[in-house]
Amino acid sequence: MGNGPMIQAAFPVHPRLGVPFPRRSIISLFRSFSTRETAGSNTLEQPRSLPTSGFEVLESDRPVEEKELHEYREHRFYPVRMGEIFQDRYQVVTKLGFGSCSTNWLARDLRDHLYVALKVYVNSSLVHRELPCYHHISPRVAESSHQGRGNIRRFLDSFEITGPHGKHIILVLEAAQMSLFDMKHVFQPNGFHEEVVRGAMTELLEALDFLHTEGEVIHTDVHYGNMLLGSPDNNMFHRLEEGEMTSPVTRKPVSPDRTIYLSRLIATIQDGPLLLSDFGEAAIGPGPHSGEIMPREYRAPEILLHVEWSYPVDVWSAGLTAWELLEPNRLFTARDENGDANDAAHLAQLIAALGPPPREFLAKNPERKSDFWDDQGEWLGAAPIPHARTLEALETESENKSGFLQFLRKALTWMPEERATAKELLQDPWLTGKQN
């Protein structure tokens, strides 16, 4: 983790330096659905004055947080300040994280007396998919009785602000704990216990089944970084606020009007529902849709072949998510022996793991097919096939290897039409723990 972004712990002991993670606790994390706190009285709380001293200041030439991003451009990001109040209602109390298109903050809702998350978009986000998606799906969540609706992160509010270099959209979302990506890399770098993976995958597939059958939404960006642990009690975030009051996070002033803060990581986690988050790349309706989607290593075969896509791309991602939760390493790196990302290396890894693609798959786009296969469907050798990278050879952690690989092969198919649905995967014997 030495090359990753710096994250400040909520408590004096930094979890990346060895806080133990109780296995019994993590197994229960994905089992409980809890009643979430709703709005209280409309009497405004008094905002708090956050510390203006007593924190470490980093050297100006040291890149941290969003400034570490290759595509970082300072003028794109709104310069959020600790203690800042938006809409005369939401007071920023600490930083939760960042991405290429937004920064994320814990805020106190002074009107409804609860903690919320603020997602502050960059000003160059010309097309906002997340807000229209939430407007589309929120009424369906409210009206549905589907179990998976409880695994969709709740959208609460949105508004627009004007920054020094343009306008920014801010989403107000349900506050949540850590992502499973952070949980794995901080506490379980070699992968979660198989029972934990089953629990996590059950809730993810419930969320996807709701999205696909009732929400009519394709997420397109399913991975364990977008799977968050929800909170059983909104008041648990008070610890983060108090942590900022007593031990303010390290920061780096970059100009009189802009400070980069370190994100604060929750060191003590509690049981809560799994929440699928980040609908910034989502597509509304079954399609078929076209265009490049998905993180490179997660791209489904139909994306690599440049053909139309629909709900099955999320199932492909779910299969790879199960692998990454259980195993220490990715199944597909999409990189060649020099570490360079390219589609030829990715397709070669797919062939090694899944076998050669069927002719009917290649026939979906003859022009793209000709870049990698001959007229007889033989691989042209644009990248060497790593024959040792079979599913059987790479899988090392499952206590039920054959069952897990059977589950995986239902999700990872060349033909999207042959891929299992989320609902079908929920009945899989490996996932349910019921053997054939």
Q: In 10 A of CB 32, how many CB atoms?
A: 12
Strands 263-265, 7-9: pairing kind = parallel
Cα angle 204, 99, 126; round to 5 = 100
Instruction: Give Cβ neighbours of residue 3 (< 8 Å, ≥ 6 apart).
Output: none
Instruction: Give Cβ neighbours of residue 257 (< 8 Å, ≥ 6 apart).
Output: 79, 164
* 217, two tokens: 């939404």
Cα angle 35, 82, 88; round to 5 = 65
* 370, two tokens: 């000709």
d(Cα 49, Cα 46) in Å, to the nearest integer? 10
d(Cα 313, Cα 366) in Å, to the nearest integer? 21
CB burial readout 177-200, b (16+ within 10 A) else e = bbbbbbbbebbbeebbbbbbbbbb
**Mutual orientation of helices 401-411 and 312-326 as an angle, nearest 10°?**
150
295 CB-contact burial (10 Å; exposed 0-12 / middle 13-18 / buried 19+):
middle
Catalytic annotation present for 371: no
> CB pairs under 8 A, 24+ apart, for 255-258?
257/79, 257/164, 258/74, 258/79
Among candidate residues 109, 182, 209, 221, the one labeled active-site is: 221
Residues in the chain: 436
385 CB-contact burial (10 Å; exposed 0-12 / middle 13-18 / buried 19+):
middle
Q: What are 258's strand-pairing partners?
A: 255
Strands 251-255, 258-261: pairing kind = antiparallel
d(Cα 121, Cα 173) in Å, to the nearest integer? 13
The residue type found at 164 is P
d(Cα 32, Cα 10) in Å, to the nearest integer? 24
**Mutual orientation of helices 312-326 and 194-210 as an angle, nearest 10°?**
160
DSSP state of 314: H
Q: What are the residue numbers of the active site?
A: 221
